[in-house]
């Protein structure tokens, strides 16, 4: 079918009832591309229609050097989405009711992430979009539809999916930038580092709601000589910056001197960023997890006994559950859950921590004895977490010098400039003993794995088997249940929540079998995504999924108020006897 044919078809629909648009479903091969109309909206006000466009590489002609590695391919796809989104802004929107004339692609953040909205292979380049099929009232606006699908869309594709039309240098820089960040991140573990912040990086953002770089008056990052490290870039050049070593690191300094800004850049460093972001070469161990206090959250069956014990009324904390956690309990649970899900680094800011979880000073120890206080403060556990479980911590702590005793590295920020003050902090700790009793015991304690009860996840709503809703980076609606993710701070795009919601249903369907641990089940889910792509999460092809980590998927599950934990995997492991029978 030619463009003309589609135009005739749309003109013929003009004035008909909106339902007649359903006849468009299916694939239309137009001049340079194929238009797949996968879903046709029921009326002009409903969720928009979903379409895919595919251009054969024979026409698109992207050089394979732009997508011959995973970070480069993801960066190329990311670039195409951004390019398409930019071009949409230049197109006038057709008039009509409701969403008439809308053309929309998932909107990327500052991070370069895998997204189902774009897909490139040796054969094809594909974009997935939402379009609002035009109407006046409930009557099809056929001429407007023809302009949308036969003029505007081909024009947008022309400006986005044909290599020759793109800024080759910018595209190359985009792919190189992502690859370099990945390359730097991969060197961290060999160098016993948990994060690297390149000299010259711009960390502050425009505002709390605008993640673009602060342009005016931003002080570029400059590493202190004693912690300066050089890492290699893919082209062999070296880049210098601050290397934060494994172990326990404190970030100290006066209020407003840039501590939280540095930590937030480190949080974001689990992702690659676009050129011009300022954090292109700020990289963090991929398993670094921000944790914070979050009173009111639910906790299900978590062994928080390393931190909290001897609750009033003799309540056990080995499989602790609550629908309304306190600040300290929520922070304890979030730490244990993160480690259970594979976190190698914890990122904690005093601004968002529970004071009684972080510190308990000598005077308070005297007034309220250990026997009366269920909480063992983090200061007494943070070292054991590293020595016993290999989990490092980076902690912003301007308010308590008690942490000097347990820190390997102390970095002070002064007017946004970092200095290493480890020696001074140690000298102060020696000269001015705080005489605290360490309350942490001999070891950190076990991190217990949990098994999710197979029917924990119920995404049903009325007659609909699966009903998932997400609009922001704050909340997932799973059937009748809401999951509040506003405290899971490393989620940066709504599409990550959409994918996580689908992944929860997928995990339930395939991997929560009542025996496998939560962690093992989530690893399987992430493994499937790595092999088959985000599309494996859903029967219908979604253009809205964005990549996420097992850590955030675990965080979402852990906040599901209907979650049921069915003991630990050990309770379920076949006994030696059973195994013998199986083999026989
Ligand atoms: P702290 O946590 O030490 O109190 P913040 O990180 O919240 O400080 O930073 C305070 C303010 O300084 C913020 O508005 C932030 O955007 C700004 N800021 C942080 N780092 C820089 C920098 N390198 N250059 C300019 N402004 C910065
Ligand atoms: Mg702060």
CA atoms in the 13 A half-sphere facing the CB of 256:
0
Q: What's the pLDDT score for residue 570? A: 67
Alpha-carbon span 118 to 131, nearest angstrom: 16
Residue 59, number of CB atoms within 10 A of its CB: 14
**204 Cβ below 6 A of ligand 1:** yes
**CB-based contacts of 127, cutoff 8 Å, min separation 6:** 52, 53, 80, 81, 84, 105, 117, 118, 157, 160, 161, 543
CB 349 within 8 A of CB 396: yes
Take residue 135 and report the two structure tokens written for it: 């109407």
Please tell me the residue having the least CA distance from ligand 1 atom 9: 258
**218 Cβ below 6 A of ligand 1:** yes
Take residue 351 and report the two structure tokens written for it: 């601004």
Q: What's the pLDDT score for residue 469? A: 80
**470 Cβ below 6 A of ligand 1:** no
Q: Return the ligand number nearest the Cα of 352.
A: 2
CB 125 within 8 A of CB 57: yes
Tens digit of pLDDT for each residue in 140-187? Answer: 999 999 999 999 999 999 999 999 999 999 999 999 999 999 999 999
Q: What's the pLDDT score for residue 473? A: 84
Crossing angle of the two packed helices 153-160 and 70-88, in degrees rounded to 10: 140
**255 Cβ below 6 A of ligand 1:** yes
Pocket test for ligand 1, best of 204, 217, 219, 413 (most atoms within 8 A of CB): 204
Ligand 1 atom at minimum distance from 255 CA: 4
Ligand 1 atom at minimum distance from 263 CA: 6
CB 411 within 8 A of CB 419: yes
Residue whose tokens read 């359903």: 22
What length is written for the chain? 584
The predicted model scores a pTM of: 0.95
Of the chain, the end-to-end C-alpha distance in Å amounts to: 63
Range(s) for CATH 3.40.50 in the chain? Answer: 180-448
Q: Return the ligand number nearest the Cα of 210.
A: 1
Alpha-carbon span 403 to 249, nearest angstrom: 10
β-strand 392-396 against 345-349: which pairing, if any?
parallel
**217 Cβ below 6 A of ligand 1:** yes
Take residue 300 and report the two structure tokens written for it: 């299900």
In the predicted model, is pLDDT for residue 574 greater than 60?
no
Tens digit of pLDDT for each residue in 58-91? Answer: 999 999 999 999 999 999 999 999 999 999 999 9
Q: Return the ligand number nearest the Cα of 205.
A: 1
Alpha-carbon span 192 to 546, nearest angstrom: 30
Residue in 253, 204, 187, 238 with CA at minimum distance from that of residue 420: 253
**261 Cβ below 6 A of ligand 1:** yes
Of 4-13, 211-220, 464-473, minimum mean pLDDT range: 464-473
Ligand 1 atom at minimum distance from 413 CA: 3
- Helix runs in 280-410, H state only: 327-340, 355-358, 362-367, 382-389
Q: What mean pLDDT is predicted for residues 263-279?
A: 98
Residue 388, number of CB atoms within 10 A of its CB: 16
For 309, which DSSP code? -
Crossing angle of the two packed helices 518-532 and 550-558, in degrees rounded to 10: 130
Q: What's the pLDDT score for residue 435? A: 87
Please tell me the residue having the least CA distance from ligand 1 atom 26: 218
**CB-based contacts of 181, cutoff 8 Å, min separation 6:** 71, 272, 273, 280, 281, 283
**219 Cβ below 6 A of ligand 1:** yes
Query: With pLDDT > 90 as the criterion, what percentage of the chain qualifies?
Result: 87
Torsion, CA 317, CA 321, CA 324, CA 325, rounded to 10 = 30
β-strand 475-478 against 248-253: which pairing, if any?
unpaired
Helix or strand or coil: residue 184?
helix
Residue in 333, 329, 344, 353 with CA at minimum distance from that of residue 244: 344
Ligand 1 atom at minimum distance from 257 CA: 3
User: pLDDT averaged over the chain?
Assistant: 94
Q: What mean pLDDT is predicted for residues 237-256?
A: 97
Alpha-carbon span 114 to 537, nearest angstrom: 14
Give residue 308 CA to ligand 2 midpoint distance, Å. 26
Give residue 259 CA to ligand 2 midpoint distance, Å. 5
Please tell me the residue having the least CA distance from ligand 1 atom 16: 204
Q: What angle do CA 496, 499, 504 make, to 5 degrees?
A: 120
Alpha-carbon span 382 to 392, nearest angstrom: 8
Tens digit of pLDDT for each residue in 518-562? Answer: 999 999 999 999 999 999 999 989 999 999 999 999 999 999 999
Alpha-carbon span 337 to 304, nearest angstrom: 9
| 376 alpha-carbon distance from chain centroid | 30
Alpha-carbon span 77 to 126, nearest angstrom: 9
- Helix runs in 61-141, H state only: 70-88
CB 294 within 8 A of CB 331: yes
Tens digit of pLDDT for each residue in 391-410? Answer: 999 999 999 999 999 999 99
* Helix or strand (DSSP H, E) at 301: strand 299-302
Query: 180-448, which class in CATH?
Result: alpha beta
In the predicted model, is pLDDT for residue 368 greater than 70?
yes
**416 Cβ below 6 A of ligand 1:** yes
CB 117 within 8 A of CB 127: yes
Alpha-carbon span 173 to 270, nearest angstrom: 20
Tens digit of pLDDT for each residue in 176-231? Answer: 999 999 999 999 999 999 999 999 999 999 998 999 999 899 999 999 999 999 99
Pocket test for ligand 1, best of 212, 261, 278, 399 (most atoms within 8 A of CB): 261
Take residue 575 and report the two structure tokens written for it: 């006994």
């Amino acid at each position: 079918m030619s463009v003309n044919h589609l135009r005739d078809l749309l003109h013929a629909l003009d004035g008909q009832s909106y339902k007649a648009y359903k006849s468009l479903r299916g694939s239309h091969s137009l001049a340079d591309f194929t238009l797949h109309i996968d879903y046709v909206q029921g009326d002009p006000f409903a969720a928009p229609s979903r379409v895919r466009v595919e251009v054969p590489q024979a026409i698109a002609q992207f050089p394979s050097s732009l997508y011959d590695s995973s970070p480069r391919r993801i960066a190329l796809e990311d670039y195409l989405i951004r390019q398409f989104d930019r071009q949409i802004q230049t197109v006038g929107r057709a008039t009509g009711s409701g969403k008439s004339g809308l053309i929309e692609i998932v909107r990327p953040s500052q991070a370069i992430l895998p997204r189902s909205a774009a897909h490139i292979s040796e054969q094809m380049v594909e974009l997935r979009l939402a379009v609002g099929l035009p109407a006046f009232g409930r009557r099809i606006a056929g001429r407007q539809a023809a302009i949308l699908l036969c003029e505007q869309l081909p024009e947008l594709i022309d400006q986005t999916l044909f290599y020759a039309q793109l800024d080759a240098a910018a595209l190359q820089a985009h792919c190189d930038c992502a690859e370099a960040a990945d390359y730097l991140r991969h060197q961290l573990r060999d160098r016993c580092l948990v994060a690297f912040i390149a000299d010259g990086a711009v960390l502050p953002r425009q505002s709390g709601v605008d993640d673009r770089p602060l342009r005016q008056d931003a002080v570029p990052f400059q590493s202190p000589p004693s912690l300066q490290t050089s890492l290699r870039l893919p082209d062999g050049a070296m880049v210098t910056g601050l290397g934060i070593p494994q172990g326990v690191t404190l970030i100290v300094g006066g209020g407003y001197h840039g501590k939280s800004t540095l930590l937030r850049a480190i949080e974001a460093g689990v992702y690659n960023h676009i050129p011009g972001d300022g954090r292109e070469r700020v990289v963090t161990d991929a398993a670094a997890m921000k944790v914070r206090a979050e009173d009111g959250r639910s906790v299900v069956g978590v062994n928080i006994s390393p931190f909290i014990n001897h609750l009033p009324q003799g309540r056990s904390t080995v499989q602790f559950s609550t629908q309304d956690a306190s600040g300290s309990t929520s922070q304890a649970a979030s730490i244990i859950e993160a480690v259970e899900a594979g976190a190698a680094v914890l990122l904690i800011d005093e601004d968002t921590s529970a004071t009684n979880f972080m510190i308990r000073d000598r005077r308070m120890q005297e007034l309220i004895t250990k026997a009366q206080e269920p909480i063992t403060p983090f200061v007494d556990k943070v070292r054991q977490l590293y020595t016993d479980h290999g989990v490092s911590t980076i902690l912003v702590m301007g308010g308590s010098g008690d942490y000097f005793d347990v820190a390997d590295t102390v970095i002070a920020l002064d007017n946004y400039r970092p200095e290493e003050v480890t020696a001074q902090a140690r000298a102060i700790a020696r000269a001015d003993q705080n005489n605290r009793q360490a309350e942490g015991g001999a070891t950190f304690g076990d991190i217990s794995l949990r098994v999710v009860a197979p029917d924990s996840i119920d995404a049903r709503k009325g007659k609909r088997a699966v009903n998932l809703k997400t609009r922001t980076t704050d909340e997932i609606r799973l059937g009748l249940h809401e999951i509040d993710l506003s405290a899971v701070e490393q989620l940066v795009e709504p599409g990550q929540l959409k994918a996580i919601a689908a992944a929860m249903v997928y995990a339930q369907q395939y991997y929560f079998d009542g025996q496998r641990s939560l962690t093992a089940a989530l690893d399987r889910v992430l493994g499937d995504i790595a092999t088959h792509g985000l599309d494996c999460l859903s029967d219908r092809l979604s253009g809205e999924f964005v990549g996420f980590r097992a850590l955030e998927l675990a965080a979402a599950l852990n906040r599901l108020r209907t979650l049921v934990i069915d003991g630990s995997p050990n309770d379920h492991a076949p006994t030696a006897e059973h195994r013998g029978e199986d083999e026989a």
